[in-house]
């Protein structure tokens, strides 16, 4: 398995309208560089994977299990397993590094 992967050679996957991800994975975790267009919405969902999101650029409104907070560049969001969450993008595009454990097979 290569230890260096050029992000620009990875295929983009559409997660939701206006939201695309390039994914990378090992045996026990998956990382995704996610690009979100201004005004895009990731509908409410949940998964058994734990997730950590590092906001690389922009401003997002995260709703976790009914609690809403605005997060900005440099912030980290920790999403426990099976917690419902929604993401709304602000007036400018955003970029996020999402990390999941275990690997999300649906994103490979």
CATH code at position 51: 2.60.120.10
Q: Kindly tell me if the per-residue pLDDT of 1 is higher than 60.
A: no
Q: Is residue 72 part of a domain?
A: yes
pLDDT band at 3 (very low <50, low <70, confident <90, very high): confident
Domain of 44 in residue numbering reads as: 11-98
- 3 in a domain, yes or no? no
Q: Is residue 5 part of a domain?
A: no
In this predicted structure, the answer to whether residue 2 has a pLDDT above a threshold of 70 is no
In this prediction the pTM is 0.92
Domain count, the chain: 1
Answer whether residue 6 is part of any domain: no
Say yes or no to pLDDT of 70 above 90.
yes
pLDDT tens digits, 22-59: 999 999 999 999 999 999 999 999 999 999 999 999 99
Please indicate, yes or no, if residue 59 is contained in any of the structural domains: yes
Q: Which is nearest to 53 in space by CA: 14, 25, 85?
A: 85
Mean residue pLDDT across the chain: 95
């Amino acid at each position: 398995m290569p230890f260096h992967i050029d992000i620009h050679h990875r295929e983009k996957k559409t997660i939701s309208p206006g939201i695309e991800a390039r994914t990378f994975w090992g045996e026990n975790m998956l990382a995704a560089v996610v690009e979100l267009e201004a005004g895009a919405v990731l509908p409410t969902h949940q998964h058994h994977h734990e997730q950590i999101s590092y906001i690389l650029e922009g401003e997002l409104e995260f709703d976790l299990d009914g609690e809403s907070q605005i997060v900005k560049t440099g912030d980290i969001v920790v999403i426990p397993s099976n917690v419902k969450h929604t993401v709304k993008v602000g007036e400018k595009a955003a970029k996020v590094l999402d990390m999941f454990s275990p690997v999300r097979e649906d994103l490979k």
